[in-house]
Amino acid sequence: MAQTKVKTGLVDATFGSANIADDAITAAKIADDAIIAAKIANSAVTTNKIADDAIHTAKIADDAIHTAKIADTAIHSSKLASDVVSMAKVGNEFKTISALTAAATIDVSFGTTNGASVFTLTPTSNTVLNFTNVVPGINKYMIITGTGNNYTLNYTVGGGAGTFNKISGAYDDSSNMKNLLQILCVGNSEFWYSISQIDT
């Protein structure tokens, strides 16, 4: 049987993007894994293109999350391993010594602002220690050096009267006498304290 050649009318040509109509390639026409990372524009992946819970730990680079990206309420005590908070990480109010400036009334902070663990003082007059930023359950220690002038020592909290329960001891203003005042806050305006001197 004789064969008949049919001329199609097509010519050899390069088939490029200009030959593809807009919106002609649908998702069904794209093979699995056909689009590689190098073909995705830097600005093409936006947050609304990422499924909820799609980014897991393995996809987060080491050191990729910085302090500024952590919400203020994001870190809870349950997220801290036991024994990971070192003394270097606690506030100054738990580990420093602060010299108080002598005055008739002196503010002594239990909190972070102007706080310390141990305070020192050499009075120059009768003195009222006014405790501020008080936190129940917190102890403070004061080493008060006597001057030999019979100065007295009294206490207030937040500029007003409080309940100060003396356990033992008394302030001794003898010259160069070292007095250790130990005071524990047990309420917003209540304290227990003791005063002792070096045993000779």
Question: Domain for residue 136, yes or no?
Answer: yes
Q: Residue 160: helix, strand or coil by DSSP? A: strand
143 lies in a domain?
yes
- Coil, strand, or helix at residue 140? strand
**How does pLDDT run across 163-196, given as a tens digit for each residue?**
999 999 999 999 999 999 999 999 999 999 999 9
Tell me, yes or no, whether 23 lies in a domain.
Answer: no
Residue 181 lies in a domain: yes
Residue 24 lies in a domain: no
Would residue 99 count as lying in a domain? yes
> For the chain, what is the domain count?
1
| Residues 77, 196: Cα–Cα separation, whole Å | 38
Question: Domain span at residue 159?
Answer: 87-197
Confidence of residue 142 (pLDDT cuts 50, 70, 90): very high
Using one digit for the tens of pLDDT, what is the confidence trace for 19-64? 787 777 887 888 877 887 778 887 778 888 888 878 877 788 877 7
Least confident of 80-89, 114-123, 144-153: 80-89
In our burial notation (b when 16+ CB lie closer than 10 A, e otherwise), range 103-135 reads eeebbbbbeeeebbbebebebeeebbbbbbbbe
